[in-house]
Amino acid sequence: MEKHIDENKRISRRTFLRTTIAVGSIASLAAIENKGFAKTAITQGYTTRERFDTIIANGIIYDGGGKAPYKANIGIRDGKITAISDKLGKNCVEYIDAKGQAVSPGFIDIHGHTDTNLLQANFGDSKIHQGITSDVGGNCGYSPFPFSDEVYEKRKNELRYGFPFWKNVDGFYDALRKKGIGINYKSYVGHGDLRDIAVGDYDVSATPEQLKKMCYMLEEQLEMGVCGLSFGLEYTPGSYGRTDEFIELLKVVAKHDALYAIHMRNEDDRVEEAIAEAISLAKASGARLEISHLKAQNQNNWHKVPNMLKLIHDAEKSGMDIHFDRYPYTAFSTGLDCFIPLAQRQGSTKEILARLDNPSEEKIIREYALGRVRRLGGPHCILIAACFAPGNEKYTGKYLDECCQIAGLDMWPTIKYLLKSEKLAVNMAGFAMKEDNLRDILNDPLAMVITDGSVYSPEGSLSLEAPHPRSYGSFTNYLGKYVRDKKFCPLETAIPKCTSLPAHQLHLNDRGWIKEGYWADIVVFDPQTIADVATYGNPHQFSVGIDHVLVNGSHEIAGGKRIPNCKLAGVIL
C-alpha cells in the first residue's frame, strides 16, 4: 500500500496494497443491445409505457438479513429498488432474467486499500468482478491524504494521476468524482499520515501542540466525509504513538460517531495483548471499534483463537460496539521491510538503508529477520510477491528459499540484497495461518468479509504488479470455496457478512439489503460456480460465477463481462 504522506519519502508497509477505488457503470439500452451480449439473459421490455428502468426476474433473493431466500422479481427506478414482487411482468426498459440464480445486495468491502489505484483503473476491475459495489479505503493507518502545508505548497502546481495535487480528503474525493468511478467509495483517514505531518517518522512522544494539530486535522477530515480513523500499529510511524495520543484522537472519532479501525500492534506472539490494547482504547474513548483482519499468525499461536474471540465477545457483552473483519485466505501480505525491527525502521529510506551497512545495526536486523523467518515456518513459507528494480523480475513469484538459490546466496544476504536493491519496497506474502481458525473467525457473528487489497486490472500499469489473489477474489473465494464447498455456513448466513453488517457499521442506512427504497447495488451470481481463480503466481484473473452487477441501479456487468460503453455510476458515500 502506498504511504501517501509525502511521495518523496519511501513507500512504507504494504506497497503490495496500493490503493485505488472500484468503478461502476450504468448500462444504456444501446449498450444492452450490443451484439457482444447476445448470449446473456437481457432482453428489451415488451411494453411501450415505461414503469421500471430495470426488472430483475426469476432470481432467488438473499435479502442481506440472514432469513431464508425467496423467489421474487425486483423493480428498479431512478437507481433505487421500488418494488419486490412475483407479479411485475416486463413493464421496463431493461429486463434481466436471473434464471434461478442468487440475487444479493452488492458486496461491501469495509477494509480495502483501493485509494489511488481507482484513478488508474476506475472501473474497479478486480473488485467489481467479484461483486463488490462499495469499497472502503484508507485502512491500516495510511490514506492518500492529508498532506502538510509545506508539502502542499511545494507541490500544489503538480498533477497527481492527472488531477491537481490535493491536500485533503475533499480534494481526493473531488478527483474521483471528476474521473468517474464505477463502484461506491468511502475512506478512513490514516493515523500514520496525521502523525507524520505533526510529529515525523521517529519514535518520540507527540508534544501537546503536536497532538492538538493531529486532532484538528482529524476533525477536519471527519467533517469532510471520512468514515473514521484507521491505525497501523505494526508499521511506522503509527507504531510510535503513545496511549494518551490514541485516546485523545479517538475521543474526536467518538464525538462524530465514526469508526475506529485498527491493524493491531501484533498479530502473532502477542496478539492477545494487542486485542486487549485495542479494546482498552475503545473503552477509554467511547469510539466504535473495528479490528482489522483478525488472525493468529505462526503455528505456535494457532491455539489462541478461542481466547481471542472470547476477549472480543466479553467486550461486546459489556456494551461496547465492537466487530472485526477477515479475508478468506491463510496467507497474509505485507512488505519485506517488516523484517526490520521498529527501532531500526525510523526515519527516511536513506537512513534505514544506511543501517543495513552499519555492522552493529546490521547484526540486530539480521537476527530479527532470521527470527521472523523461523517463526513463519521457514523460507518456503515466504513468497516474494513483487520486485520492481531492473533485473529483479526473476524473484517475483518465488519463495524465499527459491530466491536464495537464484541469487546463489544464503538467506540473510538474499533478504538484504532485496531490501537494498528495491529501496525497501518489496511485496511479500506469508503462509502462516490455519484453516480451522479461519472457519471459527469467519463464522463468528461479529465477523465481516474483506479483501484487505486494492483494485487491480489485467491491463495497463497495474497488471505489472503481483498482488495477493484476495484483491481479485476474496468474496468469491469465501462464497465458493468456504461456504459452498467446505460448508462453513449456509449461504443466507454468509451474505450478511458481505452486505448488511458492513453497511450497518458504516451507517449506510439505504444500502446492504434488498429492500424497497434502498439503492439498487445488486449482484446476481451462480452459487454452484462462483469461485476465485486468481493464484499467487497468476493473480490477474477475474472471478467466475458473477453474472450481473448493478451499482446504483446501473447495469455494469452482464454475462460476467463489463458492458461496453457503460456509464460510471459509483458515488462517494
The answer to whether residue 209 sits within a structural domain is yes
Which tens digits make up the pLDDT trace of 407-432? 999 999 999 999 999 999 898 889 99
Cis peptide before 146 (omega within 30 of 0): yes
Confidence band, pLDDT 50/70/90 cuts, at residue 50: low
Phi, psi of 531 (to 5 degrees): -165, 150
Contacts 24+ apart (CB under 8 A), 302-309: 302/433, 302/434, 302/437, 304/271, 304/272, 305/437, 305/440, 305/441, 306/440, 307/272, 308/271, 308/272, 308/275, 309/440, 309/441, 309/444
| Residue 388 clears pLDDT 90, i.e. is over it | no
pLDDT at 385: 82
Read off the pLDDT of each residue in 298-323 and give the average, rounded to a whole number: 97
What is the rounded distance in angstroms from the CA atom of residue 338 to the CA atom of residue 502?
A: 29
Which tens digits make up the pLDDT trace of 496-516? 999 999 999 999 999 999 999
The 3 state secondary structure assigned to 117-151 is HHHCCCCCHHHHCCCEEEEEECCCCCCCCCCCHHH
Which tens digits make up the pLDDT trace of 313-360? 999 999 999 999 999 999 988 889 989 998 999 888 999 999 999 999
Read off the pLDDT of each residue in 485-503 and give the average, rounded to a whole number: 98
Task: Note whether 154 and 283 are same-domain residues.
Answer: yes
Contact 331, 293 (CB under 8 A): no
Task: Produce one character per residue of 199-223: b if its CB has 16 or more CB atoms within 10 Å, e if not.
Answer: bebebeebeeebbebbbebbeebbe
Task: Note whether 296 and 152 are same-domain residues.
Answer: yes
Amino acid at 479: L
When computed from its CA atoms, the radius of gyration of the chain, rounded to whole angstroms, is: 23
pLDDT at 334: 85
The residue with cell 483478525 is 294
Q: Average pLDDT of the chain?
A: 91
| Residue 30 clears pLDDT 80, i.e. is over it | no
Task: Note whether 175 and 318 are same-domain residues.
Answer: yes
The answer to whether residue 566 sits within a structural domain is no
Task: Note whether 354 and 500 are same-domain residues.
Answer: no
| Residue 95 clears pLDDT 80, i.e. is over it | yes
Task: Note whether 201 and 347 are same-domain residues.
Answer: no
Read off the pLDDT of each residue in 375-381 and give the average, rounded to a whole number: 91
Which residues partner with 56 through β-bridges? Answer: 74, 96
Which cell goes with 395?
A: 524473484
pTM flag (> 0.85): yes
Which tens digits make up the pLDDT trace of 211-242? 999 999 999 999 999 999 999 999 999 999 99
Q: CA 466: distance to chain centroid?
A: 16
The answer to whether residue 237 sits within a structural domain is yes
The answer to whether residue 440 sits within a structural domain is yes
Task: Note whether 399 and 490 are same-domain residues.
Answer: no
Read off the pLDDT of each residue in 546-551 and give the average, rounded to a whole number: 98
The answer to whether residue 159 sits within a structural domain is yes
Spatial CA neighbour of 439 closest among 252, 296, 321: 296
pLDDT at 445: 98
The answer to whether residue 147 sits within a structural domain is yes
Task: Note whether 478 and 456 are same-domain residues.
Answer: yes
Spatial CA neighbour of 424 closest among 456, 400, 389: 389
Confidence band, pLDDT 50/70/90 cuts, at residue 397: confident
Across 108-122, 242-256, 262-276, 383-397, least confident range? 383-397
Which tens digits make up the pLDDT trace of 123-156? 999 999 999 999 999 999 999 999 999 999 999 9
| Residue 174 clears pLDDT 70, i.e. is over it | yes
For residue 452, the enclosing domain spans 15-24+107-333+432-526
Handedness of CA 240, 245, 249, 250 (dihedral sign): positive
What is the rounded distance in angstroms from the CA atom of residue 243 to the CA atom of residue 405?
A: 45
| Residue 469 clears pLDDT 50, i.e. is over it | yes
pLDDT at 544: 98
Contact 456, 463 (CB under 8 A): yes
Read off the pLDDT of each residue in 441-469 and give the average, rounded to a whole number: 95
Domain count, the chain: 2
What is the rounded distance in angstroms from the CA atom of residue 110 to the CA atom of residue 96?
A: 28
| Residue 372 clears pLDDT 60, i.e. is over it | yes
Length of the chain: 573
Task: Note whether 327 and 345 are same-domain residues.
Answer: no
What residues contact residue 118 under an 8 Å CB cut-off, 6+ apart? 19, 20, 21, 22, 23, 124, 135, 176, 179, 181, 185, 455
Instruction: Return the SS3 of 52.
Output: strand
Task: Note whether 260 and 182 are same-domain residues.
Answer: yes
Confidence band, pLDDT 50/70/90 cuts, at residue 1: very low
Q: Which of 415, 431, 447 is the last residue of a domain?
A: 431
Amino acid at 569: A
Q: Which of 413, 431, 449 is the last residue of a domain?
A: 431
| Residue 7 clears pLDDT 80, i.e. is over it | no
Axis crossing angle, helix 349-356 with helix 411-421, rounded to the nearest 10: 150
Domain harbouring 515, CATH code? 3.20.20.140
Q: Which of 431, 459, 484 is the last residue of a domain?
A: 431
Which cell goes with 251?
A: 475521543
Which tens digits make up the pLDDT trace of 244-297? 999 999 999 999 999 999 999 999 999 999 999 999 999 999 999 999 999 999
The answer to whether residue 546 sits within a structural domain is no
Q: What is the DSSP string of 262-313?
A: EE-S-SSTTHHHHHHHHHHHHHHH--EEEE-S----SGGGGGGHHHHHHHHH
Side-chain-facing half-sphere of 516: CA atoms under 13 Å = 7
Task: Note whether 415 and 442 are same-domain residues.
Answer: no
The answer to whether residue 134 sits within a structural domain is yes
What is the rounded distance in angstroms from the CA atom of residue 476 to the CA atom of residue 367?
A: 40
pLDDT at 537: 82
Spatial CA neighbour of 444 closest among 338, 552, 305, 333: 305
Phi, psi of 122 (to 5 degrees): -75, -5
Handedness of CA 383, 388, 393, 394 (dihedral sign): negative
Task: Note whether 416 and 301 are same-domain residues.
Answer: no
Task: Note whether 220 and 328 are same-domain residues.
Answer: yes
Spatial CA neighbour of 178 closest among 162, 189, 154: 162
Helices (H), 12-114: 29-32
What is the rounded distance in angstroms from the CA atom of residue 382 to the CA atom of residue 371?
A: 13
Across 15-19, 60-64, 253-257, 260-264, least confident range? 15-19
pLDDT at 48: 36
The residue with cell 460465477 is 545
